[in-house]
């Protein structure tokens, strides 16, 4: 359990003991400060940072901040430069702000087509709760955008008087919210968490006149933020970099447009004004767009609906092998339910992956998830699906995985797919999710200790009569062969548990692996109490000793609860 510096024992349930720095922390301090030395100077701390793989250019300022975490001032009175004592060093390592577990910058190549990225995607983004009777609102849309979600789904239906557009889950008891309110909130909050594009997927249940009204609302609301496609059917999607601070629309082409297009092809009419060739290939500015829309749109209302659609969507019809054929002349978005995905993946896994090289795959929850639960996102990810759509208003382990996955790449909402999901071999072969693969990396994880529950929780939250009995579960979520969970021993009656336990994970696909961490409080007579969780992308881990913040069931970070851990590849 470790030794203790002090012990405050008023009653048993209020006992709290501050644990000594773990042996590895003491050893690191001694190795860099010098054996027997009581402080670590800036140059020595800079060397420690370099050894951990961190830049040491701002070592002095980091030390100043670290020293301020403690109850004393630094040794400026005795030394010309700031210095760490062992306690200062331990507090620095335990600081989530100064010593986080993953990188926080965008570092992936953002210049590839959208189809090369996993995109943080919401499902029924307007619902505040369950799928059958909860209120529809712009509030969950705002929350999702603030959390970095990049794809917002809106289900559009005619309002009661058939003269405007409501957003609601159709044929349920959900109460509506007006489309215009959702659009305005998207505009205001679209780029609060990330500068990369927001995609609005529109589920369209409208008449042609209301579709035209949607187009008018979208253009007027978003103005210069709205991206217009260069042509009717793009051969390749634009890149996230080229779409920075832009909003793009994805939906099925309107039925009246498809009918007109078919008539034109039958009649050989090249003068049809409802044709992208009449627009030109580039849109220099909003005013030009509005002028051209006014000239060529439906006579009854500018602009026309199909002109704002960048990502054309559809669902599979007929043979799935036909739906998954890659058309070199155009790209599209295909939507599959989670059940359809599992069924198709069993027989057409390679076709799914080939299709996703250039086209977008969107996966959505099955209709029986009335309580807004979610599914295993890895089934979609390992088959190349870019838009694995989740009910962001729910909570549970599946959503924790989603939160963790999109901590990657600076929380930008866009994560570059691994190369093996973007390439074709010499015999047209692609990645096989079912293949037995060799171990590529071995991750060693050490759980030293935890702290912060005494601050964030009431003293009687876990047990009315004694301090909590904490244990930690550590494991991997990823491809099936990599997925596993392990657990530490239970530390009884301690608000600051010390485990000092090490775990080893052999990874065949580390590019998609998440490190899962959960803390629970053991309860002999009832279900163990939840005490915090997080998921960390293995590819983003900062090696060495790190402070790991924990989150509540809904994914909100606790103010103080954290673990001290060490990560290394061996």
The CATH number given to whatever domain includes residue 520 is 2.60.40.150
Domain identity same for 410 and 521: no
Active-site residue list = 123, 169
397 C-beta neighbours (distance < 10 Å), count: 15
Q: Are residues 446 and 416 in the same domain?
A: no
Q: End of a domain among 42, 60, 93?
A: 93
Same-domain status, 177 and 322: yes
Per-residue pLDDT band at 72 (split at 50, 70, 90): low
- Domain count for the chain: 3
* Longest CA pairwise span in the chain (Å): 91
Q: Are 221 and 357 contained in the same domain? A: yes
- Given a cut of 50, whether residue 161 has pLDDT beyond it is yes
Query: pLDDT, tens digit, for every residue of 240-262?
Result: 999 999 999 999 988 754 554 45
Which domain-ending residue is among 358, 391, 421? 421
88 in Cβ contact with 70 (< 8 Å) = yes
To which residue do tokens 């039958």 refer? 266
**Mean per-residue pLDDT, 507-517:** 98
pLDDT computed for residue 118 by the predictor: 99
Q: At what angle do helices 23-33 and 42-51 cross, to 10 degrees?
A: 120
Please determine, for residue 265, whether its predicted confidence score (pLDDT) is greater than 80.
Answer: no
Q: Is the model's pLDDT at 401 over the cut of 60? A: yes
- Give me the CATH number covering residue 244: 3.20.20.190
**Same-domain check for residues 246 and 380:** yes
- Give the pair of three-digit tokens for residue 156: 């559009």
User: The domain spanning residue 52 has which CATH number?
Assistant: 1.10.238.10
* Residues 87 and 206 grouped into a single domain: no
* Residues 227 and 310 sit within 8 Å (Cβ to Cβ): yes
Strands 16-19 and 441-451: unpaired
Pair 320, 228 in one domain: yes
Q: Quick one: which of 312, 356, 378, 405 has its CA closest to 113?
A: 356
Domain assignment present for residue 447? The answer is yes
Cα 346 from Cα 189, distance rounded (Å): 40
Q: What pLDDT band is residue 234 in, cutting at 50, 70 and 90?
A: confident
Using an 8 Å Cβ cutoff, are 567 and 97 in contact? no
What range does the domain containing 16 cover?
4-93
Quick check: is 266 in a domain? Answer: no
Both 409 and 449 in one domain: the answer is no
**What's the rounded mean pLDDT across residues 348-362?**
97
Average pLDDT over residues 430-437: 94
């Amino acid at each position: 359990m470790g030794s203790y510096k002090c012990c405050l024992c008023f009653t048993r349930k209020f006992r709290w003991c501050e644990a000594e720095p773990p042996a590895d922390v003491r050893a690191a301090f001694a190795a860099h400060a010098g054996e027997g030395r009581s402080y670590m100077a800036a140059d020595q701390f800079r060397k420690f940072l370099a050894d951990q793989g961190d830049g040491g250019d701002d070592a002095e300022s980091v030390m100043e901040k670290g020293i301020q975490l403690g109850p004393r001032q630094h040794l400026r009175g005795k030394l010309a430069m700031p210095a760490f004592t062992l306690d200062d060093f331990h507090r620095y390592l335990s600081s989530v702000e100064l010593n986080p577990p993953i990188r926080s910058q965008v570092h992936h190549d953002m210049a590839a087509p959208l189809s090369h990225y996993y995109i943080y995607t919401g499902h029924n983004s307007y619902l505040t709760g369950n799928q059958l009777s909860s209120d529809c609102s712009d509030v969950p849309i705002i929350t999702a955008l603030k959390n970095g979600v990049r794809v917002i789904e809106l289900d559009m239906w005619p309002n009661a008087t058939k003269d405007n557009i409501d957003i609601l889950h159709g044929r349920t008891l959900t109460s509506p919210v007006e489309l215009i309110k959702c659009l305005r909130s998207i505009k205001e909050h679209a780029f609060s968490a990330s500068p990369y594009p927001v995609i609005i997927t529109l589920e369209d249940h409208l008449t042609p006149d209301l579709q035209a009204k949607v187009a008018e609302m979208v253009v007027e609301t978003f103005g210069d933020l709205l991206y217009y496609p260069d042509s009717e059917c793009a051969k390749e999607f634009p890149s996230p970099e080229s779409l920075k601070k832009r909003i793009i629309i994805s939906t099925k082409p309107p039925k009246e447009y498809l009918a007109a297009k078919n008539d034109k092809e039958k009649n050989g009419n090249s003068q049809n004004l409802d044709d992208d060739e009449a627009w030109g290939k580039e849109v220099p500015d909003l005013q030009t767009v509005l002028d051209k829309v006014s000239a060529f749109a439906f006579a009854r209302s500018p602009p026309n609906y199909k002109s704002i659609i960048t990502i054309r969507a559809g669902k599979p019809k007929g043979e799935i092998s036909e739906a998954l054929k890659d058309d070199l002349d155009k790209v599209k978005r295909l939507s599959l339910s989670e059940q359809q995905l599992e069924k198709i993946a069993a027989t057409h896994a390679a076709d799914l992956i080939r299709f996703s090289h250039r086209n977008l795959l969107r996966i959505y929850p099955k209709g029986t998830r009335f309580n807004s639960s979610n599914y295993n996102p890895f089934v979609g990810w390992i088959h190349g699906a870019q838009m694995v759509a989740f009910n962001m208003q729910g909570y549970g382990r599946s959503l924790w995985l989603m939160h963790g996955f999109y901590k990657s790449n600076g929380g930008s909402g866009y994560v570059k797919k691994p190369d093996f999901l973007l390439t074709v071999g010499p015999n047209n072969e692609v990645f096989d999710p079912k293949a037995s693969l060799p171990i590529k990396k071995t991750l060693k994880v050490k759980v030293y200790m935890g702290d912060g529950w005494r601050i964030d929780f009431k003293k009687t939250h876990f047990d009315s009569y004694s301090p909590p009995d904490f244990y930690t579960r550590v494991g991997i979520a990823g491809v099936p062969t990599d997925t596993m969970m392990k657990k530490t021993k239970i530390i009884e009656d301690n608000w600051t548990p010390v485990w000092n336990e090490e775990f080893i994970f052999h990874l065949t696909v580390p590019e998609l692996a998440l490190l899962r961490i959960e803390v629970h409080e053991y309860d002999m007579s009832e279900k163990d109490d939840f005490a915090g969780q997080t998921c960390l992308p293995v590819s983003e881990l900062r090696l060495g000793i790190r402070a790991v913040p924990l989150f509540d069931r809904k994914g909100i970070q606790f103010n103080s609860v954290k673990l001290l851990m060490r990560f290394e590849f061996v």
